[in-house]
A and B are shown apart, each in its own frame.
Chain A
Amino acid sequence: GIQVEQSPPDLILQEGANSTLRCNFSDSVNNLQWFHQNPWGQLINLFYIPSGTKQNGRLSATTVATERYSLLYISSSQTTDSGVYFCAVVGSGTYKYIFGTGTRLKVLA
């Protein structure tokens, strides 16, 4: 099945810094989403982005499907950005999402 790798696994930033999270996948995908898991465990939708670029406030994402990767940009980070960021993809011939191992982000005040 499709493999999803995220990097870096852990990231510590000072408040106000920028960061880039990466998601690599091993095969072509039909869907791709980025999620933020809050401290209570709920998965919050950030972007539904099978291809192209989207922006939402301080966050933006780019998926280059032909090169099998997606990037999540966080600018001017805040302590509330802390948590785990997951990338999830849907391969061909299925509707199930496969999750990466996540990037654990900690933003220090």
Chain B
Amino acid sequence: DTGVSQDPRHKITKRGQNVTFRCDPISEHNRLYWYRQTLGQGPEFLTYFQNEAQLEKSRLLSDRFSAERPKGSFSTLEIQRTEQGDSAMYLCASSLYGELFFGEGSRLTVL
């Protein structure tokens, strides 16, 4: 069991560019979550999947954000036309019976 894996760990991009993050959950975990965390704040829920179905999505998530989990295994989070306000740590977590396990996060800096 290698834990939740996220890639890339760091991403620096220019405003207006698209970025994509990948998350590989713990094997056999059926639920996968995305959170965003800015400096000095707690993690903020973005969306979660049960298997391949996206069951809940935060109203704070603009249309520029999209997440997929096509085969119920890994997931991607894409941000289109990035803005400076998107700079944050993007956290992925997975669970099977309720306990959440987080990856190390992907830090995004938008210049």
Contacts and interface: CB of A to CB of B under 8 A. Distances in A.
Interface of A: 30-31, 33, 35, 40-43, 45, 48, 50, 86, 88, 90, 94-102
B43 A95 contact: no
A33 to B, nearest CB: 6
The secondary structure that dominates the A interface is strand
B76 to A, nearest CB: 19
Interface of B: 31, 33, 35, 37, 41-45, 48, 50, 55-56, 89, 91, 93, 95, 98-105, 107
Contacts of B101: 45
Contact of A41 (B44, B89, B98): B89
5 contacts: A30-B98, A43-B93, A95-B48, A99-B45, A101-B41
